Amino acid sequence: MAILPTSSIRTRDDLARIEAEMTLAERLPERSVHDVFVGSAATWPERAALTMLMTGAPDEQPRRVSYRELLGLVRRAANLFATLAGPRPGVAYLLPSLVETHAVLWGAETAGYAVPINFLLQPEHVAALLRASGARILVALGPHPALDIWQKTLALRAQMPELVVLRIAPPGVPLEPGVLDFHAALMAQPDDRLVFDTPGRDDDIAAYFHTGGTTGAPRLVAHTHRSQLTAALGGAMLGDFRATDTLTATLPLFHVGGTIFCGLSAFMAGVSLLVMSPSGLRNPAMVQGFWRLAGRYEATLVGAVPTSIGAVLDVPPAAGDLATVRAGFTGAASLPAAVGERFREVTDRGLFEVYGMTEASGLIAIDAVAGAGGAGSVGWPLPYTRVEVRRLEAGGTLGPACAAGEIGVIAIRGPHVSPGYRDPSHDAGVLALGLLNSGDLGYTDDDGRIHIAGRAKDLIIRSGHNIDPLMIENAMAEHPAVALAAAVGMPDAYAGELPVCYVALRPGATASVDDLRDHAQRTIAERPAWPKEIHVVDTIPLTSVGKIYKPALRCDAAARLVTRVVREQLGHADARIDVVEGGRRGLRVDVTLPPASDATIAEVRQALAAYLFEAEVRAG
């Protein structure tokens, strides 16, 4: 099994020493995801791999699954899928976070390839992903009082009768004709061996993860066994994972961070995952009980996306809740400095950032959890990978490497980089000859740590969820009164960004904001992408070649927000507000107050500290 370092990575020299000690092949003898579970079951057979909470109630008796039992479930699932659909089947799933979801995911990767799908997507979008992936099996959650997964599944089954559908539901719920009961089918398979001869390994495709936010044209990123294993090893090493750790598992298992860093990395190191309900921190009970549950189940590593971290910090921990906690982590979206500082104030522990992309098997760099922490940094690249900040040349090509402190585009090489998209036409400008153009702007400091400075691409990241503005724009353009629409991200203290849309109407046409909002909600496939605000404007700024000039709109959206905060909420009606593109975080806000006291200036600075932009406040 993987040979993890005997000492933690605290410095850049530690990282270099560990790479020099042995090659990746020597350190990572596993050739398949299945090998990870075999090794963990042999080393820690009775240790809890999963502790599944459903409600978080004080008297709850959680379901615990040992590493030995988890290996058995993975084998049963792999055998089931191979029996149902033959060699190398594609297995899609629409599932919340359950023990069974782990069985489905890793069993699918063992027998063929997994296709994790966000169960919040609309049926049309799910159908497009299923068709593009070539999946022959769909595993879905049965009837549920709060989730409409099964209703979507029935609609999909009507459209795609060739799908083999397995349902996960409590005993006694009647089955529809032609639907298979997952539990019954699973238990009919042996758990001590694989019944087929060709489990996935090495450069075989292990999974296709959809990315690009909520675009109508699905983009499916290929993961191989080797790419996932390399990323998982790096996550375990820089995450300082230990076999004595219990890690709060709050990310969904259709999210690459939930499957690799909070999944495979943990399993590789013998970590116990505390699964905090099927819906994670979307469950208000888990937010309210987060620290209590961390204390009760002796969590040592706690984490979530930045918005969720902010929410749990609003519920102060009680005495003893932090007794075993040694560090926090966050990722999937940029961390506002104010949230990191508040985490330190509340817990007296560090909050370490994780940076990844689906195209890099989920992980690129981590602020080393055993280290001192790099303020505002996402840390060093994973072991055995290389990350460079490259200059952006005319035409969008990547040029030479930047000097320390110079902002450029982050580019990644290594065995964790995807071999490409299922549709090769999507590779252009992103993946070429093993080089991944992240589309993210960043810079390195003198110690080699990576800092994120914004995005070259226009994705809107809301609470770690990628939203493609083109999908919003195309939907809004269907309105008969709309001539042009442009969607950008507006800074938000909770979500990082919220989508807003600027609309120019056709000559002589009229449409109210309420009418446009209703249209958006009818035509945009996913609720998180519904514009938070819609602004009807006379013209939308264009470049000299007729492209929408989004930097101007991002600045306008930020200026509208800051105006509300400073002039309306804080009452500084005479404040002058200027927003320009640039700075270390993509936007720079300058607030000039009339002659004001130091306390007033500090008040405004504090109010703006929660947002992902640089802010300068001064008296004029």
For 40-88, write each residue's pLDDT tens digit.
999 999 999 999 999 999 999 999 999 999 999 999 999 999 999 999 9
List the domain boundaries for the chain. 12-380, 460-548, 552-619
Residue type, 170: P
Q: Report domain 460-548's class.
A: alpha beta
What pLDDT digit, counting tens, does each position of 299-331 carry?
999 999 888 898 899 899 999 999 999 999 998
Question: Per the structure block, which two tokens stand in for 232?
Answer: 């998982």
Per-residue model confidence (pLDDT) at position 381: 98
What is the per-residue pLDDT for 152? 96
**Mean local confidence (pLDDT), 500-510:** 93
Q: How confident is the model at residue 333 (pLDDT cuts 50, 70, 90)?
A: confident
At a CB cut-off of 8 Å and minimum separation 6, what does 29 contact? 1, 2, 3, 35
Dihedrals φ, ψ of 209, to 5°? -105, 135
Same CATH fold assignment for domains 12-380 and 460-548: no
The 3-state secondary structure of 209-262 reads EEECCCCCCCEEEEEEHHHHHHHHHHHHHHCCCCCCCEEEECCCCCCHHHHHHH
* Of the candidate ranges 11-25, 131-145, 292-306, 451-465, the one whose mean pLDDT is the lowest: 451-465
Axis crossing angle, helix 33-43 with helix 99-111, rounded to the nearest 10: 130
Q: Residues near 47 by Cβ (< 8 Å), separated by ≥ 6?
A: 66, 67, 243, 270, 272
Strand partners, 272: 246
- What CATH number labels 552-619? 3.30.300
Mean pLDDT score, 404-409 = 90
> What is the rounded (10 degree) CA torsion for 164, 165, 171, 176?
-100
At residue 573, the pLDDT reads: 93
Which element (helix H / strand E) includes 554? helix 550-563
- At 304, is the secondary structure helix, strand, or coil? coil
Of 3.60.21.10, 3.40.50.12780, 3.30.930.10, 3.30.830.10, the CATH number of 12-380 is 3.40.50.12780
| pLDDT at 465 (0 to 100) | 80
Predicted pLDDT of residue 217: 59
Structure tokens at 472: 């919003």
pLDDT digits (tens, 9 = 90+) for 234-250: 999 999 999 999 999 99
337 pLDDT band, cuts 50/70/90, is confident
- The separation between CA 44 and the C-alpha centre of its own chain, rounded to angstroms, equals 29
